[in-house]
Amino acid sequence: MKIYYIILLFVSISSYSQSCEELKKINEQLKRENKQLNEDIQERIKELDAFSKENELIKVDIDNTKNDVEALLMDLENTFKTIATEKKIHNLSDLCKNYFLNLNISDENFEIIDSTNIFDLKNADSNSEKPEKIEDFDNKSKVFLTSNHPINKVNGKLFLTNSKNKNIILNYKFLLLKEENDTLKSTITKRTWGSGINLQIELSSKEKNIPISSLLELAKNDKINKRYTISPIGLGEEFAKKKYGTAAFTIDTYSKILAEMDAIIQNISETTKFDPELIKIN
């Protein structure tokens, strides 16, 4: 019986030693695996850091590219505005020159406004907003003629009817235009705003019918006493403060008048502040 317990004790000690060895091996294996896992984790962290830095660089590149594109778009927009401004100024300048030379004048770029309509315009209400910058105007220019005497058209020729005992006033308005619909009291109307130059010519004559088909024809007519005055229309204080020409309207002063009017037109720019007149209501 004693021998049995000794054998059992020996077997137990052997089993325990064997288990300890196995546990030791397992522990060593776990340590190696843990070390490898830590190394893998550290390597992954380095990779993520590198990826994060790369993403930051990509983000910076994207932001820089976005800023470059926005700057380019702004430059393009400014370029288009400048081109549009120059085109509108060029069109108004050409209209003025062509009218003085009696070239390419048609119903599209010339219109007579009844003097009774002028009074109505001064008292007209409006919901439409005035153009404030040159970009607000249409790419369209026109000459409007008004007079304090009746204007008649006979066989395609224009004549002033000199039936009143007072001086005749002609106003030639060379204008940039803005046409828009305006709803007022449930009625839709078309309103035309204009800014530019007014050439006022004061006539004194005993003739009953005065031909005015062209400015050149009027300048050449020595039978009529004529005096001109140049003034800006709706071009803001920078233009209103200046003094402009006023003198006899003759063929000798004709080119000088055109040159002064064109100089005013060429001074219009993107920074010009406009306060246009209401020219007509349809």
**With 90 as the cut, is the pLDDT of residue 93 above it?**
yes
**Cα-only R_g, the chain:** 44
**With 70 as the cut, is the pLDDT of residue 126 above it?**
no
- Pairing between β-strand 141-147 and β-strand 110-112 as defined by DSSP bridges: parallel
Q: What is the pLDDT of residue 5?
A: 61
- Whether residue 100 contacts residue 142, with contact meaning beta carbons closer than 8 Å, is answered with no
Least confident of 95-109, 121-135, 175-189: 121-135
- Whether residue 195 contacts residue 137, with contact meaning beta carbons closer than 8 Å, is answered with yes
> Where exactly are the structural domains of the chain?
87-281
Q: What is the pLDDT of residue 161?
A: 84
How far apart are alpha carbons 216 and 250 in whole angstroms?
9
3-state secondary structure 245-269: CEEECCCCCHHHHHHHHHHHHHCCC
**With 90 as the cut, is the pLDDT of residue 170 above it?**
yes
Strand order in the sheet with 157-161: 151-154, 157-161, 209-211
